[in-house]
Structure 1
Amino acid sequence: MKKVYFLFLIVFGSILTSSAQQSTLTVEKIMQDPKWMGTFPSNINWGADGKTIYFHYNPEKDPADSLYKITLSDTENIIKVPVEEEEHLLPSSGDFNKAKDLKVYTRNGILFLYDFENGQEQQLLELGERISQPVFLADEDFIAFQATNNVFTYHRSSGKIKKLTNIISGEKPAEKASQLSEKEDWLKSENLELLQVIQEREDKKEKRKAYREATKTPEKFAFYTDKKRLANLSISPNAEYVTFNLITPSKERKNTFVPDYADASGYTTDLDARPKVGDEASKVEMAIYNLEKDTVYFVQTDQLPGIKDLPDYVSDYPEREWEKKNRSVSTSGAYFSRDGQAIVNIRSADNKDRWIALINLEDGTLETLDRQRDEAWIAGPGIGYSFWGGTLGWLPDGKHVYFQSEETGYSHLYLYNVEKGTKTALTEGEYEVFSPMLSRDGKHWYLTTSAVHPGERHFYKMPVMGGKMEKLTSMEGNNQVSLSPDEKHMAILHSYSNRPWELYLKESNTKAKPIQLTAGQSTAFEAYEWRDPQLIHFEAADGAKVPARLYTPAPSAANGAAVIFVHGAGYLQNAHKWWSSYFREYMFHNLLTDLGYTVLDIDYRGSAGYGRDWRTGIYRHMGGKDLSDQVDGAHYLTQQMGIDPERIGIYGGSYGGFITLMALFNEAETFSSGAALRSVTDWAHYNHGYTSNILNEPVNDPIAYRRSSPIYFAEGLEGNLLIAHGMVDVNVHFQDVVRLSQRLIELGKDNWEMAVYPVEDHGFVEPSSWTDEYKRILKLFNDTLLK
């Protein structure tokens, strides 16, 4: 008995010591208004002269950020931009001429031209209607623009305006009916037969009508959009064609409503929200306006290769007859070359195919240049979707189309020679390419990649036809680069794991050193020594190497308990070397580590940054490998870090909340407690765009939904569960946790609680809400993991 008593004293004493660990951080401190951390730059832009960097900043702690600037001649002074100057800055949107010495753009619906040689801005045109989307035509004396859903040209030399299209919103007016009833027709015939003069007058009237029809000027062609919505008007550089998209809203679309119980009116109001997955998506088609023939016809997608292919998952439903028919597709806008050729990005409604095709503008037929097929779903950096083609366009030579593809398993940059029909990879390797852009002279690419490390981003320069990549950034972490107009300087937003974003200046070469321009951290924020979490890999049960961030306490503080954090969004990366968008959670992890916890933050299957196979590892089973990665992470903690297997908690928001529920319902022997924040509980109730990618549609693939939705597994709850949700969440609706709570009540579960936040949407904004939520999370872990 003495030995048992002695052992009890050791264990109990250890727990008391662990519980007594202190931190200079508190939940109240880290969850207060983020202004306490300091001010950090964002939205970097260069002035037209290439000598001034503009950015949003807030050193004066105003209610919102304002525009500030730094000049290259005086990099030590940060100056607040006067309102008058801000209103006349050159916008980032617009179009350059071929020589890049002129830019056309709009401001407040007015057309302007900027001359870079003399630094002068000229107002070209102001109409009663808003002008938008100006572009130079091949004859650069002409500028095309849009107004009233039509395309116009402006002749710079004469100032003349010409309307090119006649597109009218709505339905074509019905012609007046002139048919007579049987009775009326009989009366008229009798009258004309009896009265000769009346008959003669009717004959003359018909002859005059026939003459007018034969001699009148034909009416100008008009295209009516009917009940469809117009989008993506584009004109060919030779002004021979205009392309546009027509969007037909689904008749099956049914929006949901979220009650707002705390509306300022004092009444409960309904917030109009999204439809649920499976509601038929809108139809998007492309039309061609032939300006010479004055007619409109449609791009034909019925001959696309593989248009009738069925997805592999149909084999799981042998009892159902699957009809092989043309699948629905959506088209992007047209991308024109300088000589008037056009390509289009096309995506199948079932998310399995992406085609890049050359458009025959004469008749709307297509020539497929590249087909990307994925039995999971088409995605990845630069791949694009229906309305946006992603990284897609023409080289200046008019012979090569560029695009990104996951053909090798990682998103890389490709060229397609339309004359030779050949495709060439410009980049290759087990890394991904982000935001490639052509240099002003069209001879080089600028691109960001993860070639150094999946958790780093660096900026490169590469010959336009491929070759050696020249690394232009050197700071470890993430480098978000904005090039000066002459491409001689880079304004760099840089951050590291434990250092928020700051602005740097560097010459665009490999030898130059970056100069730090801002230092926005507050004294209070700098006073704490924020941890640089260790980037590790642990082995999953299937042999995969899973990346993660590891926070370890000082040996004297370690309490033998651990918390696993699950990032949200599913397709997102958080085990990286830059300042996390989850900065509140990052600070909370520092607090937990001070208190003796070990914290693991996993880039589980489905996360971004690791290629196609990692991205699609959750296809048709969310809560499969993404959950087993959390379990294998827990095993790593017990086997390698000395964590007590009885004292592991888990938490996360949104997708992280979903995984937390799946963990407590399906892996009760691994996780003692968990906090599920703004969590999806039934994927059949989430949105279409995200969910149909991963799980297809409920009516077509119910197996995927049933095995992926926590509400079906609630009977497995054994540990302690905290559910927290905003009541005006228009993304993951409060209905999700209401239905789950009823399920838990019916199952007789009593080891759970729910905190609701009446004024919060999906992303909390009130410091009081953040504080309340995370005090509850901390209490949950302290009460259940430190026993």
Structure 2
Amino acid sequence: MRNLYLLGLLAVAAQSALAQAPATAAGSLAPLTVDKIMREPAQWVGTAPANIYWAEDGRRIYFSWNPTKDRRDSLYQVAPTGPAVPRKVSQREQRELPASTGAYDDAYTRKVYEREGDIYLLDLKTQKIRRVTNTTERESTPDFARQGKLVSYVRAQNLYTWNPATGETVQRTDFRKGSKPASPTPTDKAERYLRAQQLTLFEVVRLRDQDRQAQERQQKALARLQPKAIYLGLQTVANLQLSPDGRYVTYTLRQEPTAAKVALVPSYVTASGFTEDISSRTKVGAPQTAEELGIYDVARDTTFVLGYKELKGLDELPAYRKEYQLPAKAPLPADSAKAAASKAKKPTPELRRVQPFGPYWSADGQQAFLVMRTTDNKDRWIVGLDPATQKIKLLDRQHDDAWVNGPGIGYAAGSVGWLPDNRRVWFQSEETGYSHLYTVDVTTGQKKALTSGKFEIQSAQLSRDRKTWYLTANATHPGERHFYQLPLNGGALQQITTRPGAHEVAVSPDGRTLAVRYSYTNKPWELFVMANKPGAPMRQLTHSTTPEFEGYPWRDPEIITIKARDGADVYARLYRPANPVAQGPAVIFVHGAGYLQNAHKWWSQYSREYMFNNLLVEKGYTVLDIDYRGSAGYGRDVRTGIYRYMGGKDLSDHVDGAKLLAEKYGVSPQRIGIYGGSYGGFITLMAMFTQPEVFRAGAALRSVTDWAHYNHGYTDNILNEPYNDSLAYARSSPINYANGLKGALLMCHGMVDTNVHFQDIVRLSQRLIELKKENWELAVYPVEDHGFVEPSSWTDEYKRILKLFETNLRPVGDRGGAGQ
């Protein structure tokens, strides 16, 4: 889920071996409290290293870190060899460092990058930096052009190039706002007559007109040396790119909607003392930005807009629309039917809107391809492009009746590129139900799968020598992420990392060494280094966690599978007390985002919730954390399992989990609670409203209550537009089921939430009032956005959640410490 992430705290660093026994069994260890675990993370947990990258010469590893418990992270560096002594990089040193991002030439001998609005060129052999621009205007998106001979960049929506050999700067485009000025030559018949009369009668007028025409011819001759003036009207331009031979400039034309209404979020606690409105976003179904691919043919001094009508499937009606088609009318008599048929006109099929990405040019500059997607995200095409003829050639089509997405695919171009032979294009696809790596020959159309299996390739890139693939995948277990190598043309995956957990890898410039950000379930992220060899030992470079944090034996929950009612295996984390009480209480935690994974073997981004789950177990609760349908890491069928019905399989997975707790783990079916934030809050509401016999108490945090009020980018993929698929919205929105509330419900929401607006919970509250429901409460947080920041807010919220469970899930007489 792109926008609905519940923002957790930054991951923190590793600790030495941690026992699974509860803290109360440790004798001298003090029990956990909400006050303790919700403190400022940097002060008592530690701050993990993040944003890891190599120096261009490979001698240092840079990363963000905060071991000194400052207000914000700082840049650190550490050598990959020798003693692991990280050092803070001074502000003066940072100003002299090349940017961590940028573009490389094909030989990886130079890098071009932007810093503070200017462009710089770095020679990777000499490490010398050359400044390309020094202006008050911002230059951005630097790249190499003309096969490395030029540096290109964008200034004020126009493309420029700079020649390192001569120092010459050339403006390649001349995009202008507004419309082209009207021609001075009249077009109206009456006006043409009057002009001809004036030129005939008056010599002075005729001579001046001849002078004007001569001057215009001279200006046009000079203008041939300048780029064509292209008037944008109400459009804007982006993604400017010069073809390798310099003949074409391609660009994206964007037309912003004029009628889109943006919701305002009032902020009440402000420095000014006045209520201030925050402009947030539109709602699902609002008009969206339209995009087209423009081509400027420099040699012909003319422009084109690429057409897409020949795309296969572009005129196909989305499958769900068939449910809303009107029933056929009664058949007409034979003669009348013939007459009607003769008069009827064949309807013109409605073409879906397309969003282009690219083009991507081969290294030899001879060929290009585009990635094209329908704006409803049900189709994604990879097509060859001939800019001379403005023709496209289909190379691959990915269609999904739900929506196209997945690792390496995403909602834009995805991970794509050319192989070194300049003949094959590589990309990722969920063709088999799992995202894997493919190539397609642009000449023959032959497609080949380089990887396969019931696992996902979660990231892919070519090595600098373009002989090897570097991949991250969950091939060993859905809850583990390892680093792999693969020969260029496919073959056996070679696993490099071996520890259970997750590995985020940055490869050194020479390809010999790996900087690894690693964590395990109960061991927060730390920075390691290892040789780029299978099974090589990992050496730890950072130590981030505090002695206080390390002093508690954080649990390593068991990963189990739940057999869902439709036969699917659903993964979950299970936390169990050391000495569970028969018919004891249980709580199910619901992760946010929908498309996110949490039943895995690495440190959770829901670290506060992980610690709270430890607290619940310490108090005798069994806790279950489910990767319900819609979660990431399990392939296409799980990803799209919520299509057109959120609160369907995703909710029934939790009901099936509750049943398993009662049948296998001795939990009382009358003492099960549920909680979660964002999408987790939505599921909690659906559980409390539609499954009141299963869940006795629930805490819904920053919850979507009505999907018709959420954003377009996320919701349209899953439920389509509300005016086209009203059934999907009706059955997926908790506000429609509020009458079913029986158990105790706590709702918490930030008042300046610009993601799930506070209006959502206000509307639901009014609905509960009108339904005369009394067993609910709403806690509001005046200074919090979607992801809470202030420790005081976290503490207040989770004390209320704990009190809710202690009050409603424990037997009378066993409810002590509810607010601790």
The verdict on a shared fold, with TM-score over 0.5 as the criterion, is yes
- Residue 353, structure 1, aligned to residue 379, structure 2: yes
Match of 1:303 in 2: 310
Q: CA deviation at 1:289?
A: 1.4
> Which residue type is aligned with residue 455 of structure 1?
G
Name the SS of the counterpart of 2:490 in structure 1: coil
- For 2:416, the equivalent position in structure 1 comes to 392
Q: Counterparts in 2 of 1:14-53, with a 5 A limit?
A: 24-35=31-42, 36-53=44-61
| Unpaired segments ≥5 residues, structure 2 | 1-23, 329-346, 812-820
With over 3 angstroms needed to count, the CA separation of the structure-2 counterparts of 1:114 and 1:747, relative to structure 1, is same
Unaligned regions of 5+ residues in structure 1, if any? Answer: 1-16
CA contact 2:498–2:535 (8 Å) conserved in 1: no
Partners of 2:210 and 2:231 in 1: how far apart? 32
Alignment partner, residue 138 of structure 2:
130
Deviation string for 1:533-559 (max 9, x for gaps)?
A: 100001111111110000000116677
CA contact (8 A) 2:284 2:713 kept: yes
Give the aligned residue type for 1:202: V
Q: Paired residue for 1:650?
A: 674
2: CA distance between counterparts of 1:347 and 1:186? 52
Mapped pair 1:287 → 2:294: yes
Is this contact kept in 2: 1:662–1:710, CA < 8 A? yes
Give the counterpart letter for 2:790 in structure 1.
Answer: E
Following superposition of structure 1 onto structure 2, how do residues 516-527 of structure 1 map, counting pairs within 5 Å?
A: 516-527=540-551
Give 1:586's aligned residue: 610
Paired with 2:725 and 2:351, the residues of 1 have a C-alpha distance of 19
1:313 aligns with 2:320: yes
Report sequence identity in percent.
Answer: 51
In 2, Cα distance between the equivalents of 1:480 and 1:30? 27
Instruction: Say which of 394, 399, 402 aligns to 1:373.
Output: 399
Q: 1:204 to 1:48 in 2, by over 3 A?
A: closer
Matched, 1:364 2:390: yes
Q: 1:633 to 1:152 in 2, by over 3 A?
A: same
Distance in 2 between the 1:138 and 1:187 partners?
A: 52
Are 2:491 and 1:467 equivalent residues in the alignment? yes
One-letter amino acid of the structure 1 residue matched with residue 755 of structure 2: N
Which AA in structure 2 matches 1:291? Answer: V
Does the C-alpha gap of structure 1 residues 725 and 99 become closer, same or farther in structure 2, counting only changes over 3 Å? same
Give the 5 Å matches for 1:386-785: 388-555=412-579, 560-785=584-809
Q: Does 1:225 align with 2:232?
A: yes
- State the structure with bigger RCO (CA 8 A, min sep 6), 1 or 2: 2
Equivalents in 1 of 2:184, 2:270: separation in Å? 50
Higher mean C-alpha displacement, 173-182 vs 718-727: 173-182
Q: Which stretch shows the higher mean deviation, 707-716 or 161-170?
A: 161-170
Q: Could you tell me which of 357, 378, 386 is aligned with 1:332? A: 357
Q: CA deviation at 1:145?
A: 2.6
After TM superposition, the structure 1 stretch with the greater mean CA deviation from structure 2, 393-402 or 271-280, is: 393-402
Distance 1:625 1:511, change over 3 A: closer
In the alignment, is residue 113 of structure 1 matched against residue 139 of structure 2?
Answer: no
CA distance in 2, matches of 1:213, 1:257: 51
* TM-superposed deviation, 1:128: 4.7
Mapped partners of 2:35, 2:746: distance in 1 = 19
Q: 1:151 aligns with which of 159, 166, 169?
A: 159
Pairing 1:58–2:82 present: no
Distance change in 2, residues 1:49/1:326 (3 Å)? same
Amino acid at match of 1:223: I
Measure, in 2, the Cα distance between the counterparts of 1:504 and 1:717: 50
Asked if structure 1 preserves the Cα contact closer than 8 Å seen for 2:583 and 2:668, the reply is no
Matched residue type, 1:584: R
C-alpha displacement at 1:91, in angstroms?
1.8
Contact 1:410–1:432 (CA under 8 A) maintained in structure 2? yes
Give, in angstroms, the shift of residue 207 of structure 1: 4.4
Contact 1:136–1:237 (CA<8 Å) still a contact in 2?
Answer: no
Distance across 1 between alignment mates of 2:589 and 2:299: 61
Match in the other structure for 2:110:
102
| Alpha-carbon contact 1:559-1:597 (below 8 Å) kept | no
Can you list the C-alpha shifts for 1:183-235, whole angstroms capped at 9, x where unaligned?
x9999999x79xx9x63433444444455556653445211222112111112
Shift of residue 78, structure 1, vs aligned partner: 1.4
* Aligned residues of 1:238 and 1:339 also touching (Cα < 8 A): no
Check conservation: 1:557, 1:595, Cα contact below 8 A: no
* C-alpha spacing 1:762/1:177, structure 2 compared with 1 (3 Å): farther
Q: Secondary structure of the residue that 1:75 maps to in structure 2?
A: coil
In the TM superposition, residue 90 of structure 1 has moved relative to its aligned partner by 2.1
**Alignment CA distance shift 1:296-1:527 (3 Å):** same
Paired position in structure 1 for 2:8: none
The residue correspondences of 1:244-255 to structure 2 (distance < 5 A) are 244-255=251-262
Query: Scaled by the length of structure 2, what TM-score is found?
Result: 0.89
Letter in 2 for 1:57: W
Shift in alpha-carbon separation, 1:138–1:28, aligned structure 2, 3 A: same
Residue 107 of structure 1: CA displacement? 2.4
Q: CA deviation at 1:173?
A: 3.4
**Structure 1 residues 435, 424: closer, same or farther in 2, change over 3 A?**
same
Contact (CA 8 Å) 2:571, 2:626: kept in 1 or not? yes
Q: Distance in 1 between matches of 2:215 and 2:128?
A: 55
Alpha-carbon RMSD across the aligned residues, in angstroms, is 2.3
Residues 728 and 87 from structure 1, CA distance in 2 versus in 1: closer, same or farther, beyond 3 angstroms?
same
CA distance in 2, matches of 1:674, 1:95: 50
Letter of the 2:360 partner, please give it: Y
Choose which of 66, 69, 79 in structure 2 pairs with 1:71.
Answer: 79
Distance of aligned partners of 1:205 and 1:516 in 2 relative to their CA distance in 1, 3 Å threshold: closer
Residue 721 to residue 188, structure 1, CA distance change in 2 (3 Å): closer
- Shift in alpha-carbon separation, 1:535–1:206, aligned structure 2, 3 A: same
Instruction: Indicate the SS of the match to 2:237.
Output: strand
**More divergent stretch after superposition (437-446 vs 134-143):** 134-143
Deviation for aligned residue 1:130: 2.9
Alpha-carbon distance in 2 for matches of 1:139, 1:185: 51
Task: Indicate conservation of the 8 Å contact 1:138/1:338, yes or no.
Answer: no
Once the two structures are superposed, residues 141-174 of structure 1 have per-residue CA deviations (whole angstroms, 9 ceiling, x without a partner) of 3322322322222222221222222222333334
CA spacing shift, 1:180–1:39, aligned 2, 3 Å: closer
Question: Where does 1:152-171 land on structure 2 (aligned, <5 Å)?
Answer: 152-171=160-179
Which deviates further from its counterpart, 544-553 or 203-212? 203-212
- Tell me how far apart the structure 2 counterparts of residues 510 and 188 of structure 1 sit (CA, whole Å): 84
C-alpha separation between the residues in 1 aligned to 2:723 and 2:590? 29
The letter of the residue matching 2:285 is: G
Alpha-carbon distance in structure 2 between the residues aligned to 1:215 and 1:277: 54
Task: Give the corresponding residue for 1:4.
Answer: none
SS at match of 2:687: helix
Which residue among 230, 234, 240 is the counterpart of 2:241? 234
Distance apart, 1:519 and its partner CA: 1.4
Answering whether residue 202 of structure 2 is matched by residue 202 of structure 1, we say no
**Alignment partner for residue 172 of structure 1, among 165, 180, 184?**
180
TM-score (norm 1): 0.93
Aligned length: 760
Give the letter for the 2:87 counterpart. Answer: I
| C-alpha separation in 2, matches of 1:402 and 1:154 | 31
